[in-house]
Structure 1
């Protein structure tokens, strides 16, 4: 029964350690708080001219892996946008999207009067040279020609960029809040796993003495059954037994495991990104 209990405790300890390791791989820490790397945030800004949407998704990743989709209007700010996102989120596989819809009718295509007049003058000259009258639908033909309509692309103003930068910050704030909430659950789970490991560590101690006694009895019985009790040199047997039991001693492993648990608990609340350190300790 003692052996079975010992194995159960050992397996329980290993299971908790593996659980702690798997959770620490996705843990992220800033401002003395564990954060998950999983998050989602969306922010929308509507003005008389545009409707701007920013969406951010984040999953687990060892490094900051940013995939940004930025429309032509904000392309000049793409590097700055990337810096804002990576500084705030630090790690994770991040998908960043920004889009806009034009709401202002003034931005619709307009007639290029100079081109239309030039086209009409040339058609009239050709008609005169050919001795024919210009067609009544000449204007409809001209409007289908290149450059008859022109679209003026809006430029990014400093005021609009400030609004967009704030919108990006709002979306990232929502991602961060999501990470914090999930991080609280991770923190509770990790702390519980560490506590269970330390509890199992204490429960192992009573079985160590019993284990040594059982090993001694088993070896003694085997020797007597094999070569007979009269042929056993008990002094030599005790010497060999000491060497054998030293190899079975797990005190060093217990000390190391306790130290790692303490270090893991301390590291969870150290400021800065420490997911990699937690993963290393859990190994």
Structure 2
């Protein structure tokens, strides 16, 4: 089944000490293009995270955002020296009034900066707990599983859509097959008419004419192209259901399908078949557009 390169996955965890979120987004790309945003304390894990993403996502323009923040209760509390703050505030306020300056919130902020006002960490507060990589790693795996599930769901929809286009090409090819005997009859009638005209001329060379007729018939014969095209369509359908990523292989098969369709159109020399060929080309273009989003 096909996998889409477009995807989104997020994993979130909240504890008494921290909250952590891993968010992964992926878009179309011919190669794997990774962009990571990590907390400072996880910088030494960048290579490991890159390897995880490369192994799981394989291809695409991938952005990972890893956010970790401590909860308010986990931060070391800071308490005020109330008497020192009141004294400092009154002193700053008095100086401001003497200078004719406005007193307000800025006065309080200035007082807070004075030595001895902030008493330092509250020794009764819960000590800060270390956040280990081992407890955060499952979040990365969870986000990867969710983005891959997103890719599978999108790929299922793409599979149905693309195989629908393939079926449309099959139907058009069947119409070509049904019309081909009529085309051959018309070609034969034109040749017989020209043969009558040429036989009446004095310089008519029967041997030379026979060679030209054989060349003309061979040039207009599309039997091999029809066989190759139906084989390519079967191969395309089989490839869609392979377990491994098939985007690049499907792109190559699409090129071969296009080559056979173009050859049928150029050799047929028939307006009805030309119209059918145009329809097949339209369906093939839709396939190529969707293949750009296939892993």
- Paired position in structure 2 for 1:96: 64
> Of the two structures, which has the highest relative contact order with CA contacts closer than 8 Å and spacing of 6 or more?
1
- Paired position in structure 2 for 1:281: 253
- Alignment match of 1:259 (pick from 190, 207, 231): 231
Deviation at 1:252, TM superposition (A): 2.0
> Any idea what the Cα deviations from partners look like across 1:204-239, whole Å, max 9, x if unmatched?
1232222223234335556767x7845555664343
Q: Are the equivalent residues in 2 in contact too, given 1:53–1:98 (CA < 8 A)?
A: yes
TM-score (norm 2): 0.64
- Alignment match of 2:50 (pick from 71, 77, 82): 82
- Alignment match of 2:37 (pick from 63, 66, 69): 69
Runs of at least 5 residues in structure 1 that lack an aligned partner in the other structure? 1-32, 112-136
Distance across 1 between alignment mates of 2:216 and 2:238? 37
> Any idea what the Cα deviations from partners look like across 1:223-273, whole Å, max 9, x if unmatched?
767x78455556643431221110121122222212211211121122222
Are 1:272 and 2:240 counterparts? no
SS of residue paired to 1:37: coil
- C-alpha RMSD of the superposition: 3.2
- Paired position in structure 1 for 2:176: 204
Distance across 2 between alignment mates of 1:101 and 1:52? 7
Q: Are the equivalent residues in 2 in contact too, given 1:73–1:156 (CA < 8 A)?
A: no
Distance across 2 between alignment mates of 1:193 and 1:236? 46
Q: Are the equivalent residues in 2 in contact too, given 1:57–1:94 (CA < 8 A)?
A: yes
- Paired position in structure 2 for 1:186: 158
Q: Aligned pair in 2 of structure 1 residues 85, 143: CA closer, same or farther (>3 Å)? A: farther
Distance across 2 between alignment mates of 1:96 and 1:217? 68
Q: Are the equivalent residues in 2 in contact too, given 1:61–1:91 (CA < 8 A)?
A: yes
SS of residue paired to 1:35: coil
- Paired position in structure 2 for 1:11: none
Distance across 1 between alignment mates of 2:217 and 2:129? 80
TM-score (norm 1): 0.66
Are 1:41 and 2:9 counterparts? yes
Q: Aligned pair in 2 of structure 1 residues 139, 45: CA closer, same or farther (>3 Å)? A: closer
Are 1:59 and 2:27 counterparts? yes
SS of residue paired to 2:44: helix
> Any idea what the Cα deviations from partners look like across 1:164-185, whole Å, max 9, x if unmatched?
2111112112211111111111
Question: What is the count of residue pairs matched by the alignment?
Answer: 219
- Alignment match of 2:141 (pick from 164, 169, 173): 169
Distance across 1 between alignment mates of 2:217 and 2:50? 59
Distance across 2 between alignment mates of 1:72 and 1:55? 17
Runs of at least 5 residues in structure 2 that lack an aligned partner in the other structure? 80-109, 122-127, 256-295
